[in-house]
Amino acid sequence: MQAYQGYSKEEMIKRKNELSLKYEDYKKQGLKLDMSRGKPCTEQLDLSNGLFSHTENLFAQDGFDCRNYGLVDGIKEAKALFAELFNVPEDQLIIGGNSSLNLMYDLIAKAFNHGLYGFEKPWSKLEKVKFLCPAPGYDRHFAVTELFGVEMITVPMKKDGPDMDMIEALVAEDESIKGMWSIPMYSNPTGITYSDEVVRRLAYMKTKAPDFRILWDNAYALHHLYDTPDKLADIISLCQEAGNPDRVYMFSSTSKVTFPGAGVAFIASSRANIDHLKKLISKQTIGYNKINMLLHVRFLKNADNVREHMRKHAEILRPKFEAVNEILEKNLSGKGIAAWNKPNGGYFISLDVYEGCAKKTVQLAKEAGVVFTPAGATFPYGNDPKDSNIRIAPTYPPISELKTAIEVLCVCVELAVLDKILA
Ligand SMILES: Cc1ncc(COP(=O)(O)O)c(C=O)c1O
């Protein structure tokens, strides 16, 4: 990016002085705005209050008493609902507890402690385990793999998914590369959806490690903002077709369909992977929360009804995403100092500011009372090599607060750049 092309030094100094006054003005307002996490807002949560209105009995359709122990892989009707929504056979699913992140953590713990289906030995017995980490990505993914001592390799994200040339070259050569994080639809934070070609290449690529596994975090599969949703290829079928049936584990949850923290999560994979996993899980629990599964199915009913419910979420979220885009456009476009995405779904807008300015921008915003996700958090080890990416989470704040927060952010972006180039 060529910053402030066509501006003279004097014009830049003048601009900086104007912005400094504006910034000091914001500081005096004593703002306390938190833009750091992608949470649904109260209005969105209210859409699911009906979840509790079908407690007349707690028996599943086949008569199973959901109040009691049992059914380690979940109740039949929850499997049927997720199978329909995510296009996977019912017997290739385990319905879990409230959190898909917990299922991902748990899968990695099992890969280290016991080994998964198709492993020669658990990863803990190996000298080194490496993971491919498309970035910018989800900070909590990277925190999990860091905790297990996995060496994380940053893979740049492109417009159609992660850099596949780089991935294919790496996995073909290095047997210690055992896994890869993926957020294939409306990715956190870049908002992109992997192209069919990228998904196919992931399913078909040759890997030196026979136990290479993809954690396919399909968190935003249902979270479209418009009536022209992105489409994601079916990686489980493609892996099967490619002769790599056990390569991928898919995760998702209703955290942002109903309630984060009190939703229902699931894991899907090949039948062999799921059968093996069920045996391991049966040692840690006699069953997840089946009452919650039952209430969810009664409330959400079927795939069409879920899609209708998600349209109501989109109606609440669309104006917020569009407001952010408009403010960024008005303040930052044409200056060569920032680029951002206009996502078709998901929970984030990813803002790339002039290289070397993200940390400074976030710090300035914080000092003015507006908290963003720490710069760098979207990269393994919190290290954004270009110090450029800032994640904007527009969903939670009321729109008036959101607008103020983004106005402040724009001032901070410009101040950070001007500071750098005038230094
Ligand atoms: C990509 C991604 N995966 C998983 C989660 C958390 O999901 P859950 O609430 O099901 O644990 C989030 C939450 O922000 C997310 O962005």
Query: Separation of 44 CA from ligand 1 center, angstroms?
Result: 16
The 10s digit of each residue's pLDDT in 90-135 is 999 999 999 999 999 999 999 999 999 999 999 999 999 999 999 9
Q: Quick one: pLDDT at residue 174?
A: 98
Nearest protein CA to atom 15 of ligand 1, as residue: 219
When pLDDT is averaged across residues 289-299 and rounded to a whole number, the result is 98
Tell me how far CA of residue 66 lies from CA of 31, 53, 74, in angstroms: 47, 16, 10
Ligand 1 centroid, distance to 19 Cα (angstroms): 36
**Strand pairing class (248-253; 265-268):** antiparallel
- CA–CA gap between residue 406 and residue 331 (Å, rounded): 10
Evaluate the CA torsion angle 292, 85, 118, 128 in order and state its sign.
Answer: negative
54 to 49, 179, 402: CA distances (angstroms)? 11, 41, 36
Is pLDDT above 90 for 37? no
Mean pLDDT computed over every residue of the chain: 97
Helix residue spans in 29-147 (DSSP H):
42-46, 76-86, 100-113, 139-147
Which residue, by CA, sits nearest to atom 6 of ligand 1? 101
The finding on whether 267 has its CB within 6 A of some atom of ligand 1 is no
What is the per-residue pLDDT for 36? Answer: 87
The protein residue whose alpha carbon is closest to atom 16 in ligand 1 is 188
Q: How far apart are CA 326 and CA 14, in angstroms?
A: 25
pLDDT, tens digit, 9 for 90 and up, residues 55-86 = 989 999 999 999 999 999 999 999 999 999 99
Q: Is the minimum distance from the CB of 101 to ligand 1 under 6 angstroms?
A: yes
The number of angstroms, rounded, from the C-alpha of 388 to the middle of its chain's C-alpha atoms is 19
Q: Residues 137-148: what's their mean pLDDT?
A: 98
User: Domains in the chain, please, with CATH?
Assistant: 9-44+307-422 (3.90.1150.10), 56-301 (3.40.640.10)
Query: How far is ligand 1, taken at its centre, from the CA of residue 36, in Å?
Result: 14
CB 195 less than 6 A from any atom of ligand 1: no
Is the CB of 190 within 6 Å of ligand 1? no
Task: Tokens 């993971």: give the residue.
Answer: 131
Residue 2 confidence class, pLDDT cut points 50, 70, 90: confident
Torsion of CA 311, 316, 322, 325, to 10 degrees: -110
Question: Residue 1 above 70 pLDDT?
Answer: no
Secondary structure (DSSP) of 184-203: -SS-TTT-----HHHHHHHH
**pLDDT tens by residue, 217-274:** 999 999 999 999 999 999 999 999 999 999 999 999 999 999 999 999 999 999 999 9
Ligand 1 pocket, 265 CB below 6 A? yes
